[in-house]
Structure 1
Amino acid sequence: MDSSTPHSPQSSSSTQLQVQKTESEGPYRLLYCSGKGNKWGVVQELDKGVEPNVGDYDKRTALHLAACEGCTEIVLLLLEKGADVNSTDRWGRTPLSDARSVGHMEICKILEAHGGIDPVAVDSQTPCYQIHYTEVQLKGAILIGEGAYGEVYKVKWRGTEVAAKTIRSSIASNEQVRKAFLKELALWQKLRHPNIVQFLGVLKDSDRLIFLTEYLKNGSLYDILKKKGRLDSLTAVSYALDIARGMNYLHHHKPHAIVHRDLTPRNVLQDEAGRLKVTDFGLSKIAQEKDVYGYKMTGGTGSYRYMAPEVYRRESYGKSVDVFSFALIVHEMFQGRPSNSEEPPEHVADQRAYEDSRPPLASYLYPEPVRMLLKRCWHRNPDVRPKFEDIITELESILQSEQQKVGDGLCQTCGIL
């Protein structure tokens, strides 16, 4: 990612578009609070006039998220406020489908008492939903990328464009590793959040290990930065919030937190609504733990560039490794390219691990609150790094400040002030 395209001045029309985009923060905050079980936040958004049935790009509503996360109090509140008990997402799942798939039986009873139905009852209870290969049009598949584990193709499943991710034969041929991947993918199926990529299923009777996810045609954050260069503050902070919310959801997963371990711009995709979604979370731990096939997760993938020092030093580590990677991604959005992009990724990781090297934070590029946040996020001591729930709170405040700056600029441009 060597793009160093300078950030061009924005016209008032483009600025207006940004304001319109960020004004949709309200509905997304309702979804976020519902999935987190934040009753005060849900009430606050509903009192603002946000519709209880508002959905994200996947048509997932607040009731979907609350049901999936076992937030009984939020489910009751949303139903009381007129939430549609049988709203269906892009994949035909209702809130009852989600509650049943993860075993929240109390919520299932509540939804059923309100007339809830589960149109995908069989699929939702399958440990790892298997899709017969005849349902997928593999002929004419278009190669759209290459990830750490194999190629990614655009195919059609039931008439819908989806992404088919192949696992390299050198990995999938090992039965122990294959089972580990399938176990991790079964976990993916239970996850529902506006800021994580939706898993759809594994191809049955396939010679190779292939799984399907939703297809996001806008590509990755890597693609966006390569094309546009550095982003304006408002967009960068909004994108950072999307990533932080997705990661916070994974880190709070029960009964075990999901640590991404390989959070990079290539593993953050953008949907048609302009929102970012995290993908390929949790899979790298299989490659790290099952080294019997001689495959190295970081080799040639560029992951070294976003790797926390403790991981590079092969020390024990926890969820804060994702916070470190997140900080480098946010830095890159403001900068337009990775720091030390001319140096080999492994050399950069080595300097960060053993010389405590960190990217520069020029004051003319980074708002002061962002600079302070990044310094804490990539702190050498993992225990000092903030949790994503705290990062979200700070970013929401920073976003409001950036929106105010844009609004003031618009008023001046229009001659109101």
Structure 2
Amino acid sequence: MYTLTRNMFIHPYFIMHFLFIMFLLPLLTFSYSLHAATSISVLAQGSSLFVEKKDHLVSPNRLFAAGFHEIGQNAYCFAIWFTQPMADGKLTLVWMANRDEPVNGKRSKFSLGKSGNLVLTDAGRRFWATDTKSNEPVQLKLLDSGNLVLTHMHNQSYVWQSFSSPTDTILPNQPFTKVTALTSSRSLTNFSSGYYKFYFDNDNVLKLRYNSDEISSIYFPRPWLLPWQAGRNPYTTRIFAMLDSKGRFTSTDDYNFNTSDNGKILQRRLTLDVDGNIRVYTLNKRGWSVSWQALSTTCAIHGICGPNSLCTYIPESGRTCACMHGYKAKNKSDSSLGCEPTFEFSKPPEHYDFIKIPFVEFYGFDSQRLYRSTLNECQKSCLDDSNCKGFQYTFNHDSKLFECFVKTLLYNGFYKGTPFNSYLKLPKTYVLSYNEKVDIESQLVCSTSEIELKRPYDKNSANGTLKFMLWFSSILGGIEVLCFLFFYYFTKTPSSTTTQAYLAIATGFKRFTYDEIVKVSRKFSEEIGRGGGGIVYKGKLSDNRVVAIKVLHDAIQGEAEFLAEMSTIGRINHMNLIETYGYCAEGNHRILVYEYMENGSLAQNLSGANKLGWHKRFEIAIGVAKGLAYLHEECLEWVLHCDVKPHNILLDANYNPKVADFGLSKLFHQDVKEDSAFSCIRGTRGYMAPEWVFNLPITSKVDVYSYGMVVLEMITGRSPTSDQGISYNEIVEKKRLVDWVKEKVHKAPENLTEIQIMEILDPMMIEEFENLQIKKLLCVAVQCVEEDKDVRPTMSEVVKMLRHSGND
């Protein structure tokens, strides 16, 4: 028996509160019954689901629900969604019946008629229907697969199913055929049909198409390639594709792939996102993480920034769209609308000139293609064409000739590198202002438009009894609130407790007090590691979870900044990244609490007794690559680790790797001495890319280089930091371990003999290795540690190479 007490006696408020609730209970129960949502498993003929009642169907496994879902202000769609809300409280939709024609929040219903027809109506007006008929009894039910099916009751054969008409998502084991297609949503908040389509084209090949009111173009596979050049097979009579329950996608055109977590039966979905990219998401606790995506170069997606704009991708900040000189944004809240000129193209040719935009390509819309052209000839062709907006002047390495492409529209512009150069046609006054001082053009942001449905209807006369009950309940509810405020005023807890609870919600973690940290760590009695960022102690929470506690001794920024960075880390969720449980930000204390890894760091396991055989090392290499690929390309905020090394790779009880300290580079204070030779450098000697030393632009390729050094250390057993008596510059420039490996493999790992492999391999595991795997891993590592960052692969490319190492 539980008794509410305060200072050893029952508070009078609780007695009053109890009597008050007992008085209200019958009234509130009756009022609630008028509006409570009803969950049913089957919709019978002649029955309906009503928008006001929030009726919905549920699957037997309770994983999916189908019913009215609010997609805007007073705008509803009949949809299917995952019943479990995500961490942000939102539901994940997988299908919609009326995405382009939402219905009202009143007097709308979804009915199964006596004739066997499913109809969605709004105040009697039909908005959507299956147009099905059946002379036999039928029923509607939602299956465990997420498929909404209209079935005959006697033999359970399908009359209609939602799997045959997907919107932007297909679920595991859902057939994708010639007559089905995925269409993206208009924006993250507007679920109506967007500009992107995923479908089987007339040549039986899966394609991605951008289709706006003005233009239409295919961008995947690369449109200039023939099907077999893109690895596709158009010669098939059976047109079919499917994502199975273990994360494997197969298609009759030979477009096949595996998710990064394939082999396990997990909850996944394949979605055509609003940015035109196909991604597979895996449900991990209460969040979706990307386990595969079709395009890693997001700026290559057609129409992503609209006309007359440039797309730029930076790993730290993601994709941005910016108008070119002389152009302005059509709508600053919707990047897909692009930009429009601030001048007219109606003047004679002599009033125009050109500005050069290096390394930029505008794909498509060529009115002329001139071979053996000079720059002057190309300029003249554009000036003589009143419809010309610019031109592209490119050196063709195959023909060894310059080519000119005259453009009537400027779409799909992004920085592609050499040998692409574009020239923008502008009035001479604009060219002059550009040459004097290049303006910083306005940037565009993703669309945040939201549907608002205003559809007036004649109101029915309200029921007098219901009105009275609603008013009466409202008045009594107000009295209840006043009583609660009165009680809170006299019994409120200190404000710090409330603040802690609020901050815990905002960051997604538990906020510990410093006293709690001292207690959990038993006064910091058991140190389990230390590094440049801080000291790590072992601890135990009240629920008996063993944790690692990292005390950051250099994190001296303000509490608000620290909490902002913790919020960023809280949105990062991947099986190969360490999971953070909580934090402490009290006074000058900045402490992280995260999961404890039973087998310590990779560094400890490489330098200690022989615990890591070849197979474990290879799986660790793949797992670390997956974690870094997620940080670089897949999580909501792109993050550079900047300190990839064996000490920051932790191993759980099964030796599964998890990358740690991926957020600490953002948590450390950047106040450094001006006379420091490496004032901007982050990382650990021996694992750092040359860009840090030579003051080159820092991109995600610095992590790729560090990853390559870690892999070389795993293969050879030699640490790149083991050289003594050598300056830091000498270590970075000579790259002793790298040079030694390259000398052994002669830059051709795939041709290594078994004797050469044994010379390179860590002596502690010579008895167990697989030739194909070690050759592939060596090849990947050598590519990763190239001095030229542009030659290094991305981490997602590394994952793909390792997954196809001959044993998959």
Asked whether the 8 Å contact 1:260–1:280 carries over to 2, the reply is: yes
Which of 252, 262, 265 is the matching residue for 2:633?
Answer: 252
The one-letter code sitting in structure 2 at the alignment partner of 1:275 is N
Q: Could you say which residue in structure 1 is the equivalent of 2:593?
A: 212
Q: CA separation in 1, counterparts of 2:263 and 2:546?
A: 35
Q: Secondary structure at the match of 2:739?
A: coil
The one-letter code sitting in structure 2 at the alignment partner of 1:43 is D
Q: Could you say which residue in structure 2 is the equivalent of 1:275?
A: 656
Q: Given the superposition, is the C-alpha separation of residues 359 and 242 from structure 1 closer, same or farther in structure 2, using an over 3 Å criterion?
A: farther
Q: CA separation in 1, counterparts of 2:777 and 2:678?
A: 31
Which of 516, 522, 527 is the matching residue for 1:139?
Answer: 522
Q: Secondary structure at the match of 1:250?
A: helix
Matches of residues 364-403 of structure 1 in structure 2 within 5 Å?
A: 364=757, 365=760, 367-398=774-805, 400=807
Q: CA RMSD in A?
A: 4.0
Deviation string 1:22-49 (CA, Å, 9 cap, x unpaired) is xxxxxxxxxxxxxxx9978952626798
Q: CA separation in 2, counterparts of 1:151 and 1:207?
A: 15
Of the structure 1 ranges 305-314 and 224-233, higher mean CA displacement relative to structure 2 is found in 224-233
Greater Rg by CA: 2
Q: Give 1:398 deviation, angstroms.
A: 1.9
Percent sequence identity over aligned pairs: 24
Structure 1 or 2: more helix by fraction: 1
Asked whether the 8 Å contact 1:135–1:157 carries over to 2, the reply is: no
Q: Could you say which residue in structure 2 is the equivalent of 1:166?
A: 551
Asked whether the 8 Å contact 1:133–1:205 carries over to 2, the reply is: yes
Q: CA separation in 1, counterparts of 2:537 and 2:677?
A: 23
Q: CA separation in 1, counterparts of 2:171 and 2:788?
A: 30
Q: Give 1:374 deviation, angstroms.
A: 1.7
Q: CA separation in 2, counterparts of 1:314 and 1:49?
A: 43
Q: CA separation in 2, counterparts of 1:289 and 1:358?
A: 33
Q: Give 1:397 deviation, angstroms.
A: 1.8
The one-letter code sitting in structure 1 at the alignment partner of 2:790 is D
> TM (normalized to structure 2)?
0.34
Q: Could you say which residue in structure 1 is the equivalent of 2:537?
A: 153
Asked whether the 8 Å contact 2:245–2:265 carries over to 1, the reply is: no
Q: CA separation in 2, counterparts of 1:340 and 1:262?
A: 14
Q: Could you say which residue in structure 1 is the equivalent of 2:728?
A: 346
Q: Secondary structure at the match of 1:69?
A: strand
Q: CA separation in 2, counterparts of 1:68 and 1:44?
A: 16
Q: CA separation in 2, counterparts of 1:341 and 1:385?
A: 25
Q: Could you say which residue in structure 2 is the equivalent of 1:125?
A: 505
Of the structure 1 ranges 323-332 and 249-258, higher mean CA displacement relative to structure 2 is found in 249-258
- Which ranges of structure 2 fall in alignment gaps of 5 or more residues? 1-169, 173-240, 249-261, 269-280, 294-500, 745-755, 762-773
Asked whether the 8 Å contact 1:242–1:275 carries over to 2, the reply is: yes
Q: Could you say which residue in structure 2 is the equivalent of 1:64?
A: 284
Matches of residues 20-169 of structure 1 in structure 2 within 5 Å?
A: 43=244, 45=246, 50-52=264-266, 62-64=282-284, 67-69=287-289, 125-127=505-507, 129=509, 130-136=511-517, 137=519, 138-141=521-524, 142-158=526-542, 159-168=544-553
Q: CA separation in 1, counterparts of 2:644 and 2:781?
A: 16
Q: Given the superposition, is the C-alpha separation of residues 175 and 53 from structure 1 closer, same or farther in structure 2, using an over 3 Å criterion?
A: closer
Q: Give 1:350 deviation, angstroms.
A: 3.0
Q: Secondary structure at the match of 1:68?
A: strand
Q: CA separation in 2, counterparts of 1:41 and 1:123?
A: 43
Q: Give 1:201 deviation, angstroms.
A: 1.5
Q: CA separation in 2, counterparts of 1:239 and 1:160?
A: 25
Q: Secondary structure at the match of 2:804?
A: helix
Q: Give 1:320 deviation, angstroms.
A: 0.6
Q: CA separation in 2, counterparts of 1:167 and 1:379?
A: 33
Q: Give 1:165 deviation, angstroms.
A: 0.7
Asked whether the 8 Å contact 2:602–2:646 carries over to 1, the reply is: yes
Q: Given the superposition, is the C-alpha separation of residues 212 and 206 from structure 1 closer, same or farther in structure 2, using an over 3 Å criterion?
A: farther
Which of 175, 179, 198 is the matching residue for 2:579?
Answer: 198
Q: CA separation in 2, counterparts of 1:281 and 1:200?
A: 15
Asked whether the 8 Å contact 1:193–1:249 carries over to 2, the reply is: yes
Q: Secondary structure at the match of 1:306?
A: coil
Q: Give 1:347 deviation, angstroms.
A: 4.5
Q: Give 1:190 deviation, angstroms.
A: 1.6
Q: CA separation in 1, counterparts of 2:285 and 2:531?
A: 29
Asked whether the 8 Å contact 1:219–1:269 carries over to 2, the reply is: yes
Of the structure 1 ranges 375-384 and 133-142, higher mean CA displacement relative to structure 2 is found in 133-142
Q: CA separation in 1, counterparts of 2:171 and 2:666?
A: 31
Asked whether the 8 Å contact 1:199–1:212 carries over to 2, the reply is: yes
Deviation string 1:210-268 (CA, Å, 9 cap, x unpaired) is 12111112100000101146954422221100100110111124554111000010000
Q: Give 1:52 deviation, angstroms.
A: 3.2
Q: Could you say which residue in structure 2 is the equivalent of 1:309?
A: 690
- Which ranges of structure 1 fall in alignment gaps of 5 or more residues? 1-36, 55-60, 74-120, 402-417
Asked whether the 8 Å contact 1:230–1:335 carries over to 2, the reply is: no
Q: Could you say which residue in structure 1 is the equivalent of 2:705?
A: 324
Q: Give 1:311 deviation, angstroms.
A: 1.2
